[in-house]
Amino acid sequence: MEFRVLKRCKSNNARFGEIVTDHGRLETPVFMPVGTSGAIKGISPGEAKDIGVEIVLANTYHLYLRPGHKLIENIGGLHRFMNWSGPILTDSGGFQVYSLSKLRTISPEGVTFRSHLDGSTHFLGPEKVMEIQRSLGADIIMTFDECTPSGAEHDYVRASVKLTEQWARQCLEEGKKNGQALFGIVQGGVYPELREMSAKGLVSMGFDGYALGGLSVGEDKHTRERVIKATMEFLPEEKPIYLMGVGTPEDIIESVKMGVDMFDCVLPTRNARNGMLFTNKGKLVIKNARYAQDSSPIEEGCGCYTCSHYSRAYLRHLFLSKEILSFRLNTIHNLYYYTHFMKEIRQAIRDDRLAEFSHGFYRREIKSL
Amino acid sequence: MEFRVLKRCKSNNARFGEIVTDHGRLETPVFMPVGTSGAIKGISPGEAKDIGVEIVLANTYHLYLRPGHKLIENIGGLHRFMNWSGPILTDSGGFQVYSLSKLRTISPEGVTFRSHLDGSTHFLGPEKVMEIQRSLGADIIMTFDECTPSGAEHDYVRASVKLTEQWARQCLEEGKKNGQALFGIVQGGVYPELREMSAKGLVSMGFDGYALGGLSVGEDKHTRERVIKATMEFLPEEKPIYLMGVGTPEDIIESVKMGVDMFDCVLPTRNARNGMLFTNKGKLVIKNARYAQDSSPIEEGCGCYTCSHYSRAYLRHLFLSKEILSFRLNTIHNLYYYTHFMKEIRQAIRDDRLAEFSHGFYRREIKSL
């Protein structure tokens, strides 16, 4: 994997760049839709491509439990299994172990936990997680980490950062597959000095990229931005920076200004399935009665397949009828919104007018309230 | 609407023909996928077209209850509402009133019933059903009928046939929209003499086509074939004949031999959602453990999108994970199977080898048992 910064903003830390993988090139800042179980919920890989999706995130935890990484490896790897020939990133499972599993026990070796599917007992540690990620064969893979909850106390988080650092080293030693890039995950909760410690520790080992984990887990927006800023200082400029699990368009634009290059979040896809659609004038709840007779598209001027072919009235009808097509058309629109939003951000950075773009974005948002 | 018989089988009553509507031409015998609420469950209109679907069936009863026919008319009609520019057939709601509604009361004027959605009281009769079907604007519309259950006694069915005949006359008088074709529905339960009475009564009024209703409602295969044969005698050769709600590939091929031109059934789409896939070697239950590691497509040599891109192993994984994409990929395959099957039947009729094709079909089926 190669990463190059092609342009930097003058007024903030935002940057436009490119990542080149064995499965293609993508431009940053980039948003990665979530394909938890090897499928972006609601759409096909062909649609993802048409929308402009450049890289898909899949979950190590989920694919390990079902259908199993060895099975996927035998079929020819995750790209082939899910029929997506573009870049893929797999997370390490750390976040899912903490948020989905019951009865987890952490030891220096890793985590013993119960599957959320059938309650069966499993163990994930740095060695296992690297084995799984080599089998899946994603282009970018992640170190195993402990994701501490937002309320965790300083002492606990400090010990946890040490553990995450040790696991990161083991992941590095365990080794990736040819062509894979391994990112280290910075933890440290809401404590700037622990974030610094975590970042410095990882950077000294030398990863292909760095992720900020343990955010968007309940902390407030102000705290999050403070933590991101504090962490960014200690990460190398020449490596891609990935903010895990973030977020809203607002969160993304603010983080881009601080230098973040990569994002993932279930928001556009999950909201789509709940009938909540992103527009430049704010969120549109498709089941609302006011759209019953509305023959206009979700958003006038939107270039997505859904807006080009369907009325709000039809989309409302599909949603109320629980038609499968509802999830799909809504997902196409929301992912197009996100992908297009990232494209606009990249163009704004290239044109040295990100601040202007950002002002315009907030003006539109305020107007619509 | 124009209908032309272009070729007749020498050894049986099968015929190859064409129907030309304002929304395009289609060839018969044809299978019509069911788009109950204005969407073929699981796929988009674009996919339906790619699969080779020539005409879609939508349900008057469902669209009347939700979102309402006036709303669809205001949006520009059903074709535009659901983004399907090809031919559409709407049934009259008779079958749904009898199978889905509670507390229905039949009078000479029509049927009062409770909605299966919210229990609200509604009335459908010939006048209303024609109003709804004009609003929806399908290319082929149906008369309002009483669908008698398979066990109904002779006296009841005779009276019902009279009522259905009276309603058919009222539908004819009520009038269709320019460009629409109106089909009369033959009833008469399992009694050949009542089927004859019903057919003769309708034919004397002169419809654009004729449908056989009240079949596939619990009667055995032998009875059904006897009833179809008895009815066909009294229907005009120059009009298209539609067997409602049928059926399996076996049912279709046998009915084609008796001269039936049009079919509809939820089988390919519903089975797809339940993970049951049609193949030339019989039905394949995708969740079976034997497919867990199977990297081959559903059916070797199948030209559908699903078989061209996905393994049984992936489809099994999607099904077990309840991914939305599972319903879609399975539906694409099953509808392709049906559409391709009809194409083969048409070609066999044109080549004067339907009997041969039929033998081959049953040999494959028997082999796979």
Whether residue A206 is found in the same domain as residue A350:
no
Is pLDDT above 90 for B100?
no
- Facing residue for A66 by CB, picked from B37, B317, B325: B317
pLDDT in tens, B240-263: 999 999 999 999 999 999 999 999
- Whether residue A293 and residue B75 make contact (CB cut-off 8 A), yes or no, is yes
Domain total for chain A?
Answer: 2
Let me know if residue B6 belongs to a domain: no
Place of tokens 């079907």: B133
Minimal C-alpha gap between B293 and chain A (Å): 6
Let me know if residue A5 belongs to a domain: no
pLDDT in tens, B13-43: 999 999 999 999 999 999 999 999 999 999 9
Structure tokens at B86: 């090809």
Closest residue in A to B327 (Cα) is A324
Beta bridge partners of B210: B184, B241
Compute the distance between CA of residue A110 and CA of residue A113 in angstroms, rounded to an integer. 10
Q: What's B157's domain CATH number?
A: 3.20.20.105
**CA separation, residue B221 to residues A239, B71, B251, B262, B364 (Å):** 69, 41, 8, 18, 20
Interface-testing mutation among B118, B274, B304, B314, with chain A (most A C-beta atoms within 10 A): B314
Whether residue A87 is found in the same domain as residue A143:
yes
Query: Would residue A91 show up in a list of annotated catalytic residues for this protein?
Result: yes
Whether residue B199 is found in the same domain as residue B292:
no
Compute the distance between CA of residue B330 and CA of residue A279 in angstroms, rounded to an integer. 32
Let me know if residue A20 belongs to a domain: no
Whether residue A111 is found in the same domain as residue A229:
yes
Whether residue B121 is found in the same domain as residue B243:
yes
Q: Which letter, b or e, does each residue of B281-298 get, where b requires 16 or more Cβ atoms within 10 Å of its Cβ?
A: eeebebeeeebebbbebb
Complete DSSP assignment for A223-291: HHHHHHHHHHTTS-TTS-EEETT---HHHHHHHHHTT--EEE-SHHHHHHHTTEEEETTEEEETTSGGG
Q: Is the ipTM of this complex over 0.90?
A: yes
Let me know if residue B11 belongs to a domain: no
Whether residue A311 is found in the same domain as residue A292:
yes
- Whether residue A320 and residue B67 make contact (CB cut-off 8 A), yes or no, is yes
Confidence band of B146 (pLDDT split at 50, 70, 90) = very high
Contacts of B76 in chain A (CB under 8 A): 295
Whether residue A258 is found in the same domain as residue A277:
no
Q: What is the pLDDT of residue B369?
A: 46
Q: What is the pLDDT of residue B367?
A: 62
Q: What is the pLDDT of residue B366?
A: 66
Best CA proximity match to A225, nearest among A247, A194, A251, A264: A251
Is pLDDT above 80 for B101?
no
Last residue of a domain, one of B243, B265, B287: B265
Closest residue in B to A308 (Cα) is B83
Q: Mean pLDDT of all residues in chain B?
A: 96
Let me know if residue B20 belongs to a domain: no
Contacts of B327 in chain A (CB under 8 A): 324
Whether residue B234 is found in the same domain as residue B102:
yes
Interface-testing mutation among A36, A41, A44, A293, with chain B (most B C-beta atoms within 10 A): A44
Q: Which segments in chain A show pLDDT lower than 50? A: 369
Whether residue B253 is found in the same domain as residue B324:
no
**What is the pTM for the complete model shown?**
0.96
Q: Which domain holds residue A131?
A: 30-265
Compute the distance between CA of residue B283 and CA of residue B69 in angstroms, rounded to an integer. 38
- Facing residue for A71 by CB, picked from B39, B67, B313: B313
Residues 6+ apart with CB under 8 A from B15: B5, B6, B7, B8, B9, B28, B29, B259, B261, B349
Confidence band of B154 (pLDDT split at 50, 70, 90) = very high
Residues 6+ apart with CB under 8 A from B278: B249, B268, B271, B284, B333, B334, B337, B338
Q: What is the pLDDT of residue A261?
A: 98
Last residue of a domain, one of A199, A231, A265: A265
Interface-testing mutation among A56, A321, A327, A332, with chain B (most B C-beta atoms within 10 A): A321
Size of interface A-B (CB pairs under 8 A): 96
Let me know if residue A282 belongs to a domain: yes
- Whether residue A314 and residue B42 make contact (CB cut-off 8 A), yes or no, is no
Whether residue B249 is found in the same domain as residue B159:
yes
Let me know if residue A17 belongs to a domain: no
- Whether residue A83 and residue B310 make contact (CB cut-off 8 A), yes or no, is yes
Q: What is the pLDDT of residue A98?
A: 83
Closest residue in B to A324 (Cα) is B42
Query: Would residue A118 show up in a list of annotated catalytic residues for this protein?
Result: no
Let me know if residue A14 belongs to a domain: no
Is pLDDT above 70 for B98?
yes
Residues 6+ apart with CB under 8 A from A245: A95, A215, A216, A217, A264, A265
Compute the distance between CA of residue B345 and CA of residue B27 in angstroms, rounded to an integer. 11
- Whether residue B292 and residue A318 make contact (CB cut-off 8 A), yes or no, is no
Helix (H, G, I), strand (E, B) or coil at A7: strand
pLDDT in tens, B293-328: 999 999 999 999 999 999 999 999 999 999 999 999
Give start and end residues of each alpha helix (H) in B76-191: 78-82, 94-100, 126-136, 154-174
Best CA proximity match to A41, nearest among B40, B333, B332, B326: B326
Compute the distance between CA of residue A163 and CA of residue A98 in angstroms, rounded to an integer. 15
- Facing residue for B314 by CB, picked from A44, A82, A328: A82
Q: Check: CB of residue B278 under 8 Å from CB of residue B334.
A: yes
- Whether residue A42 and residue B75 make contact (CB cut-off 8 A), yes or no, is no
Whether residue B198 is found in the same domain as residue B285:
no
Whether residue B221 is found in the same domain as residue B260:
yes
Minimal C-alpha gap between A57 and chain B (Å): 16
Last residue of a domain, one of A265, A299, A327: A265
